[in-house]
């Protein structure tokens, strides 16, 4: 099957800031010229999504070989880029000096087998557990952007820092690059000379050059990013890209035909109608768009509500979703909304399933600790304090093993995802049933050995971000209407305020 779908791989530094200024400049510049650009990332992380969306007008998506596998990546590419004039896939390609032949993976050690079969199960981020994770990781999953370049036949543009180019010290480049995008140009008048250098020594054209913008780079590297300055940033980046861009070269690169097999659907079959309460406001606003679209395909009626402004969860919901966000910035307002807190607790007491990630998971704890100040949370997990960490580190790939049965998955199930660096659970007591009308059998359960996933009755809170289209069994659990619960019984919905709340 031959298709003309404009697409481009953009290789950025592996340890660079997120979002990349070079990527934002290309997206903003092309969007300003009237192109519909869909941005994809090769790591399913939620950092910087708002700025990417402002640059293009489309929510960024993900093609993550480590999570998704080849067929799911192909399907997600076709589905997510169907409306776009150009799909830009951002990731990292190793330079030539780092390209080594794939070695055979070793067999599992006896210690790894023992850890996996033991009652405690262990997490897969320990050395033996990571060996298990790697052992089952196919070559496609370990290839990152390189795997996608091969599968999707992507033209490749490498972002090259201008630092070090003054003395013609040319950096090592990835294999098979079609063009370069210069980043951090301090003297715009040198662009013609740099174009000549790359054309003569590397026989590579220069697509464009982005100015240094030292102030913007400092802000992007900070934890607070560019609060209130996104429009200024994007306007300057678009201007910088367009004043040096070779758009004829770009159109020549992206017109390559695409030979592929007809993609399969990565979304399970429709399972009937169900109602999902989706938290959506300034405090909780970050979700994977593929996940929400998959739930709608399965029959979900997504009903938005605001934990900040509303006084209760939408009625008659089968599932409550609390996404990632910034509860630390709205901690006092959230703590003051006692009606919403009561409604959330009562819903879980009555058996409504609840799933929360990142900032949403933190808010469900007994308390939030932000910059030394302790603010009450929802209190669904007594004895659990969510601590806000100030860091510029990115999300890390992790493998986890569920230690208990939940409605989301069974004991022993292996989960891959990205652990948020911004929150940490401090679990002071995991066996207390707490004051909120829950009987003893509904005590808090630590679902992973690392303590970054907790559960209670039908509530699951995770500091590991899960891309559900890569976990079809979990996605099916979201749509299931009948979920067994060990030791289930009728739970009184009577709610008393958690410590720190007053009625």
Q: Which residue has the higher pLDDT, 65 or 470?
A: 65
Q: What 3-state class would DSSP assign to 196?
A: helix
What backbone torsions phi and psi does residue 117 show, to the nearest 5 degrees? -90, -5
pLDDT over threshold 70, residue 486: no
Domain that holds residue 365: 274-479
Q: Which residue has the higher pLDDT, 180 or 202?
A: 180
Given this model, what pLDDT does residue 487 score?
A: 37
Residue percentage of the chain with pLDDT more than 70: 76
If asked whether residues 213 and 327 sit together in one domain, one would say no
If asked whether residues 158 and 234 sit together in one domain, one would say yes
pLDDT over threshold 80, residue 360: yes
Over residues 72-78, the mean pLDDT reads 89
- CATH number for the domain that contains residue 32: 3.40.50.11030
pLDDT over threshold 70, residue 105: no
If asked whether residues 282 and 162 sit together in one domain, one would say no
If asked whether residues 317 and 225 sit together in one domain, one would say no
CB-based contacts of 6, cutoff 8 Å, min separation 6: 84, 85, 86, 87, 254, 255
If asked whether residues 331 and 228 sit together in one domain, one would say no
265 belongs to a structural domain? no
Given this model, what pLDDT does residue 135 score?
A: 45
109 belongs to a structural domain? no
CA distance 326 to 140: 34
Over residues 66-88, the mean pLDDT reads 90
If asked whether residues 224 and 314 sit together in one domain, one would say no
If asked whether residues 432 and 462 sit together in one domain, one would say yes
Residue percentage of the chain with pLDDT more than 90: 51
At 381, is the pLDDT very low, low, confident or very high (cuts 50, 70, 90)?
very high
At 172, is the pLDDT very low, low, confident or very high (cuts 50, 70, 90)?
confident
Q: Give the domain-ending residue among 229, 259, 289.
A: 259
389 belongs to a structural domain? yes
At 108, is the pLDDT very low, low, confident or very high (cuts 50, 70, 90)?
very low
If asked whether residues 255 and 398 sit together in one domain, one would say no
If asked whether residues 215 and 338 sit together in one domain, one would say no
> Which stretches does DSSP call E strand in 319-378?
319-322, 324-325, 353-357, 365-370, 373-376
Given this model, what pLDDT does residue 219 score?
A: 74
CB-based contacts of 108, cutoff 8 Å, min separation 6: 131, 132, 135
180 neighbors 157 (Cβ within 8 angstroms): yes
Given this model, what pLDDT does residue 214 score?
A: 86
317 belongs to a structural domain? yes
- CATH number for the domain that contains residue 340: 3.40.50.880
At 167, is the pLDDT very low, low, confident or very high (cuts 50, 70, 90)?
low
130 belongs to a structural domain? no
269 belongs to a structural domain? no
Ranking 131-140, 201-210, 290-299, 343-352 by mean pLDDT, the lowest is: 131-140
CB-based contacts of 412, cutoff 8 Å, min separation 6: 121, 401, 402
Q: What is the secondary structure of 265-280 as a DSSP string?
A: P-SPPP---EEEEEE-
pLDDT over threshold 50, residue 398: yes
30 belongs to a structural domain? yes
pLDDT over threshold 60, residue 435: no
pLDDT over threshold 80, residue 442: no
Q: Which residue has the higher pLDDT, 146 or 483?
A: 146
172 neighbors 102 (Cβ within 8 angstroms): no
Q: What total of structural domains would you count in the chain?
A: 2
Q: Give the domain-ending residue among 259, 287, 309.
A: 259
If asked whether residues 255 and 279 sit together in one domain, one would say no
Q: Render pLDDT for 256-285 as a digit per residue (tens, 0 to 9).
A: 876 655 555 555 555 668 999 999 999 998
118 belongs to a structural domain? no
CA distance 105 to 246: 44
Q: Render pLDDT for 5-24 as a digit per residue (tens, 0 to 9).
A: 899 999 998 766 677 899 99
CA distance 207 to 158: 10
Q: Which residue has the higher pLDDT, 2 or 444?
A: 444
Given this model, what pLDDT does residue 267 score?
A: 57
If asked whether residues 299 and 239 sit together in one domain, one would say no
If asked whether residues 166 and 301 sit together in one domain, one would say no
With tokens 């510049």, the residue in question is 29
pLDDT over threshold 90, residue 329: yes
CA distance 301 to 271: 12
Mean of per-residue pLDDT scores for the chain:
81
């Amino acid at each position: 099957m031959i298709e003309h779908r404009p697409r481009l791989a953009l290789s950025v530094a592996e340890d660079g800031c997120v979002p990349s200024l070079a990527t934002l400049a290309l997206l903003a510049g092309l969007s300003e010229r009237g192109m519909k650009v869909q941005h994809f990332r090769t790591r399913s992380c939620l950092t910087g999504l708002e700025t990417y969306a402002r640059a293009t007008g489309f929510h960024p998506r993900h093609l993550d070989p480590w999570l998704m596998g080849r067929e799911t990546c192909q399907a997600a590419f076709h589905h997510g880029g169907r409306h776009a004039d150009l799909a830009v896939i951002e990731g990292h390609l190793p330079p030539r000096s780092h390209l080594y032949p794939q070695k055979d993976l070793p067999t599992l050690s006896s210690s790894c087998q023992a850890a996996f079969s033991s009652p405690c199960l262990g997490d897969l981020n320990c050395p033996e557990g990571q060996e298990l994770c790697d052992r089952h990781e196919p070559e496609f999953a370990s290839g990152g952007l390189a795997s996608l370049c091969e599968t999707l036949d992507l033209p490749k543009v490498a972002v090259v820092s201008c630092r070090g180019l003054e003395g013609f010290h040319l950096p090592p480049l990835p294999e098979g690059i079609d063009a370069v995008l210069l980043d951090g140009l301090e003297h715009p008048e040198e662009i013609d000379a740099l174009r000549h250098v790359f054309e003569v020594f590397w026989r590579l054209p220069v697509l464009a050059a982005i100015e240094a913008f030292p102030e913007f780079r400092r802000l992007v590297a900070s934890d607070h990013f560019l609060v209130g300055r996104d429009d200024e940033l994007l306007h300057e980046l678009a201007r910088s890209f367009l004043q040096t861009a070779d758009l004829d070269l770009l159109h020549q690169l992206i017109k390559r035909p695409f030979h592929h097999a007809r993609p399969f659907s990565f979304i399970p079959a429709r399972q009937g109608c169900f109602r999902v309460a989706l938290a959506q406001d300034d405090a909780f606003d970050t979700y994977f768009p593929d996940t929400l679209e998959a739930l709608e395909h399965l029959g979900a009626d997504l009903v938005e509500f605001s934990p900040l402004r509303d006084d209760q969860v939408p009625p008659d919901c089968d599932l409550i979703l609390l996404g990632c966000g910034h509860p630390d910035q709205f901690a006092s307002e959230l703590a003051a909304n006692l009606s919403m807190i009561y409604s959330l607790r009562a819903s879980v007491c009555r058996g409504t399933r609840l799933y929360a990630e990142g900032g949403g998971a933190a808010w469900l704890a007994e308390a939030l600790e932000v910059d030394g100040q302790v603010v009450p949370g929802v209190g669904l997990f007594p004895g659990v304090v969510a601590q806000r960490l100030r860091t510029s580190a990115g999300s890390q790939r992790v493998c986890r093993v569920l230690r208990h049965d939940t409605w989301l998955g069974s004991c022993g199930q292996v989960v891959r995802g990205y652990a948020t660096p911004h929150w940490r659970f401090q679990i002071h007591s995991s066996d207390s049933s707490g004051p909120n009308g829950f009987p003893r059998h509904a005590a808090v359960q630590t679902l992973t050995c690392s303590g970054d996933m907790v559960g209670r009755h039908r509530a699951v809170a995770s500091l590991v971000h899960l891309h559900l289209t890569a976990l079809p069994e979990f996605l099916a659990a979201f749509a299931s209407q009948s979920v067994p619960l060990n030791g289930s019984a009728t739970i009184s919905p009577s709610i008393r305020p958690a410590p720190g709340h007053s009625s």
